[in-house]
Amino acid sequence: MAKTVFDDLETLKRELIRCMKCGNCMAVCPIYNVEKKESSVARGKIALGEAVLEDKINIDDETLVKLIFNCLVCKSCMMACPSGVRFDRIILGLRSAIAKKKGIPFIKKALFGLLKNPELFDKGMKAFATMQGLFFKKEDEKTRTPKGFLKQFGKRFDDDFVLPELTKESFRDKVNEVMDVQNPQANVIFFTGCSVNYFYPEVGQDLLYVLKRNNIKVITPRNQNCCGMPVMVHGDIETARELAKKNLQVFESFNPQYIVTVCGSCGSALKHEYPIILEGDTVYEKKAKKWAEKIYDISTFLLKIIKFEPPKGKVELKVTYHDSCHLKKSMKVFNEPRQLLKMIPGLTLVEMKKPDACCGSGGSYHLTHADTALKITQAKAEDIKQTQADVVCTGCPACMMELFEGIHRWDGKCKVLHTVNLLAESYKKEA
């Protein structure tokens, strides 16, 4: 297999020299905006990569490791970079080198190992769902807050922390693997992602509803795996590769026309990250590239791939739209969701100040770097509050969780929904 940035740090040199150190990334980096330190931003991390390659510092230097992991991988810097520096490869390459040198911490290793075994992972999540009361107390039907003892595990778990109820019956358990329709205009695989499967089954349900209304045959493979993004950003490229290969096998076995996603991060992993991490793999590089062409966020799929039936039911709500980083900056999807929302009768779309500013989630970043993340989330929550919208809508369940918490913390009243929730609501109100 050819050497990639994940296998050999030397190959990073070509990526690193593209950086002119112009500092344009500083204008858009959510972490730099809070911390105001050079190491917060892409340019500083690139300088660290250069220093490692020049033997000025070790890849397992304790501070360096901390700094390299202080990144949301939101890709905002890549949008602002005049020289087209591929910072996603750089940061993941550095993290992969760190993981190789230092090994992956025991807890992460155990968790990532679980991800590779979908049945075990599923059992684990369900077991946790039944036990969630031990850790998180119920605030209402759909909300939980952490119990006191969790505080020792991080600042985030204070009295204001909330998270959605973990479902005891996963989405994929609830639905039939195949949703058939008569004379379908297309057939697709629905790649649910873990957050929809365990936290937001109603997003999955609404997606099926919307696709049914548009006469699409949907396969929701039970044996689909985690997309790999969570392990990838921790530098565990081997696990990510394994998950990618398994998912590609699933796609091959059902061989649908398209694959639809409702999560910016899953979509980004499938469409953009798989071809990168599988570069040089004699069997899977080709497959990854082939399937990348067929992966669409639901909003693009509805508007650009099929003949879309606009919903006619009135939904009289003031809605503001938050751009998920991976949906906008990786998948370049930002027009379509807005277009869809504007098609819903009665709905008014109001833009917040910086709709594409990161929400501060970054997967587990909001737990590991609570101080910085909370400030990023607070700014977002305040921008949302200013719009006085009834609903903040987005295209990524990870953002949904973060926004849900942010709005709760900073006394907003806004509801958090996915674009497909609003579409489904409009269809349902047609009668």
Partner 1 sequence: MIDSNFISKCKNIFGAENVLTEKADLITYSYDATPGIPREIPGVVVFPENTKQVQEMIFLARQAKVPIYPRGAGTCLSGGPVPLNKGVVISFQKMNKIIEIDPDNLTATVQPGVIIADLNNAVSKYGLLYPPDPGSMATATVGGSVAENSGGLRGLKYGVTKHYIMGMEIVLPTGEIFRYGGKTVKNVTAYDFTSLFVGSEGTLGIITEIICKLIPTPKYRKSMIAFFDKLEDAGKTVTDIVRAHVIPATLEIMDKVTIQTVENYAKAGLPTDVEALLLIEVDGMGKDSVEWEAENCIEIIKNNNGKFKIAETDQERDSLWAARRAALPALAQVKPATILEDATVPRTKLVDMLVSIQKIAKKYNLLIGTFGHAGDGNLHPTILIDPLDKDEMERLHKAVDEIFDVALSFGGTLSGEHGIGIAKLKYLKDEIGRSGVETMRRIKQALDPDNILNPGKLVPMED
Please report, as ranges, the residues that interact with partner 1 according to CB under 8 A: 13-14, 17-18, 20-24, 26-27, 36-39, 43-44, 47-48, 51, 56-57, 61, 63-64, 66-67, 82-84
- Minimum Å gap between C-beta 383 and partner 1 is 15
189 sits in which H/E element: strand 186-191
For partner 1, give the closer residue by CB, 81 or 240: 81
Q: How far apart are CA 150 and CA 156, in angstroms?
A: 9
For partner 1, give the closer residue by CB, 70 or 220: 70
Q: How far apart are CA 269 and CA 244, in angstroms?
A: 9
- Minimum Å gap between C-beta 311 and partner 1 is 30
Q: How far apart are CA 240 and CA 245, in angstroms?
A: 9
Query: Is residue 345 packed enough to be buried (19+ CB in 10 Å), middle (13-18) or exposed (0-12)?
Result: middle
Nearest to 237 by CA among 55, 245, 31: 245
Whether the Cβ atoms of residue 418 and residue 201 lie closer than 8 Å to each other:
no
- Minimum Å gap between C-beta 67 and partner 1 is 6
Strands 178-179 and 216-219: antiparallel
For partner 1, give the closer residue by CB, 37 or 155: 37
- Minimum Å gap between C-beta 25 and partner 1 is 8
DSSP state of 185: S
CA distances from 188 to 25, 253, 320, 406 (A): 37, 13, 29, 34
For partner 1, give the closer residue by CB, 63 or 253: 63
For partner 1, give the closer residue by CB, 375 or 415: 375
Nearest to 179 by CA among 168, 189, 164, 192: 189
- Minimum Å gap between C-beta 351 and partner 1 is 17
Sheet holding 136-140, edge to edge: 136-140, 143-146, 163-164
Instruction: Name the H helices within 136-234.
Output: 171-174, 194-198, 201-213, 229-232
- For residues 173-201, one letter each, b for 16 or more C-beta atoms within 10 angstroms of the residue's C-beta and e for the rest, the string is eebeeebeeeebebbbbbbbbbbbbbbbb
Token digits for 74? 């939101």
- Minimum Å gap between C-beta 15 and partner 1 is 9
- Minimum Å gap between C-beta 157 and partner 1 is 23
For partner 1, give the closer residue by CB, 38 or 242: 38
Q: How far apart are CA 330 and CA 299, in angstroms?
A: 15
- Minimum Å gap between C-beta 367 and partner 1 is 22
- Minimum Å gap between C-beta 358 and partner 1 is 17
For partner 1, give the closer residue by CB, 67 or 381: 67
For partner 1, give the closer residue by CB, 22 or 120: 22
For partner 1, give the closer residue by CB, 13 or 137: 13
- Minimum Å gap between C-beta 3 and partner 1 is 17
For partner 1, give the closer residue by CB, 47 or 305: 47
Nearest to 75 by CA among 329, 395, 328: 329
Residues 88, 90, 94, 95, Cα dihedral to 10°: 0
